[in-house]
Every structure is written in structure tokens, then in C-alpha cells.
Amino acid sequence: MLARPSSDPMVPQVARVVASRRELGDVWTLDIDTGAGGFPFQPGQFNMLYAFGIGEAAISISGDPSKAERLVHTIRSVGKVSDALARLKAGDTVGIRGPFGGGWPVAAAEGHDVVIVAGGLGLAPLRPSLYQLMANRDRFGRIVLLCGARSPNDILYRHELEEWRSRLDIDIDVSVDHASPEWHGNVGVVTTLMPRAGFDPARTVAMICGPEIMMRFSAIELENRGVEPERIYLSMERNMKCAIGRCGHCQFSSDFVCKDGPVATWAHLRRLLSLKEI
């Protein structure tokens, strides 16, 4: 349950971890109790999670927006702070600031086909939008989820992907970069799945999250297939510190990713993502 709620966005609220589970070798998911008041957020937003005594890191929210009493974060252990966060267990406390940033355009996608392209851990920030899409299935056209991963052992939320696939009202395809012959799925970069995905480019909204180069190539492929750049959304990742657009750590050209992003259109990002100077 969240304690000491504050209106100051720089002051973390203290919350308790109620569950921790290993997703992949170095990837953990934390369930955090947010109490009766809940923790409303939009799909695609992130929180600053504070490992007390060590530091803060920006982590996307990966749970169901309709279950605001439980905040879910999936964390890859890549440094001191993320490692400390990933090691938190049930009963431990964590500091939370957020939610921050603009999210995925789920409401604006109503009436359209929706193509979601996730690379590696990029499925985590996209999962809240998938929950919303599936909860309101009849408001959308075709829903296509294309997932890329390094190998079959690196597929995030694998059991959940199998559950979603069994719904039969969402098209899910997974491809890994390489595999042993025992793997009976697709092998190749995630963009190779697009020609087989049945969506109408003229009425498609796309949401992409993953490594920047994978997002760039995915957006190019979608645009080549006729999806409007204004309807292709990417989630950017930069070194976020204050999360309110004051410190400048996450500056990306004239944008602050924490405040102006993290989600932005391909029309806006296309040129910027090819500039090595920024």
C-alpha cells in the first residue's frame, strides 16, 4: 500500500512489494500493492522506482490499467539500481514517483486495425495497451501482435502470449533471431513477420517498442507497407532522472523524453533517429 502520498512529483511514495517472479534469466517482475486508492495510469507511462540507498531508475508500467490496486513493473537487471530493484522480494519496500509521460494512443486507435510490434523487453511497456485492447475488443479492427526476441529462451511473457493466442481474436506471431532446430517457430528479424500479418495499412495504428534500431526498421517497414507515419508510435528510452522535464538528462533534440514522450510518432522521430549527434 502506498504511504505518505505527496503532491510533490520529486518526493517518492513508499510502497510494498507483494510478489516477485523471474520472467527470464535477468528479468524480474514486481507486483506492488497500491492500496485502496489505487494507482491510475495510462498504458505506456513509466514510474521512477527508488531502491532505497542505491538510486532511482525509470521503469515502464507493465500491468493491467484496470487493476490499479496492483502496480506491475518488469525489470531487467543491467546496472546497480536495476539490479537492486530486480532483487526486491515480497515484503520489501520501494519508492515510487509517477506515473510520468504520455502513453500509447489506445483510445485514438478505436475503429482501426492495431499492429503492435515488440522487441525483447519492449513487450513490457506495450502489455498495458494489450490489456486495454482485449478488454474492449469490439471497438477495434484487427489486432496483430508481432514479437521479436533473441532466442526462444528470451521470449518475455511466454505463457501469457500462449493464452492470448488461444483467444483467436488477436493475431500473434513470434520470431527469434536464431534458434536450434528444435524450435518450430519463426526465425528471422521481427520485420520479416510483417508481410504475413493481415492488416489494412490504410486504417492501421501501430505501436512499437524495443531496441531503437529495431523500432526504426519496424517503422520503416510499416511505412513502406502504407501505414501513415503519423499513425506509427514508438516509445523512446533515454536516461531519465527528474522525470518532469527539469534536469535535461533525457533531452532528445528539443524534446525531453520524460515529459514530451516517451511515446511519439514516427513522423516526429523519423529524422531525429537518424542523427548520431543527438
Partner 1 sequence: MISGMDAIIREHRFFAGLDEPTIQLLAGCARNVVFKPNQYLFRIGEDANEFYLIREGRVALDVVTPGHAAITFQTVGEGEIVGVSWLLPPYKWMHDAHAVDQVRAIGMDAKCLRGKCDADHDVGYEMMRRFLPVLVSRLQATRLQLLDVYGTSA
Distance from C-alpha of 50 to C-alpha of 188, rounded to nearest angstrom:
37
Buried b (16+ CB within 10 A) or exposed e, 134-162: eeeeeebbbbbbbbbbeebebbbbbeebe
For the CB of residue 58, give the shortest distance to partner 1 in the complex, in Å.
18
Helix (H, G, I), strand (E, B) or coil at 259: helix
Q: How far apart are CA 208 and CA 184, in angstroms?
A: 25
Site map for partner 1, 129-158, x if CB under 8 A?
-------------------xxx--xx----
The reply to whether 239 sits near partner 1 by the rule CB under 8 A is no
How far apart CA 134 and CA 120 sit, in angstroms, is: 21
Q: Does 45 bind partner 1 (CB under 8 A)?
A: no
Residues binding partner 1: what is the number (CB under 8 A)? 33
Report, in Å, the least distance between residue 197 CB and partner 1: 12
Instruction: Identify the sign of the CA torsion 37, 42, 44, 46.
Output: negative
Task: Based on the shown chain and the rule CB under 8 A, indicate whether residue 210 belongs to the binding site for partner 1.
Answer: yes
- With respect to partner 1, which residue has the nearer C-beta, 149 or 243? 149
Q: Does 125 bind partner 1 (CB under 8 A)?
A: no
Site mask for partner 1 (CB under 8 A), range 67-86, x = bound: --------------------
Which one of the spans 5-13, 36-44, 100-108, 176-184 is the region binding partner 1 (CB under 8 A)? 176-184
Which residues are CB-contacts of 34 (< 8 A; sequence separation ≥ 6)?
1, 2, 15, 68, 69, 70, 71
| Residue 188 interacting with partner 1 (CB under 8 A) | yes
Which residues are at the interface with partner 1 (CB under 8 A)?
24-27, 119-120, 148-150, 153-154, 175, 177-181, 183-189, 191-192, 195-196, 210-211, 213-214, 217
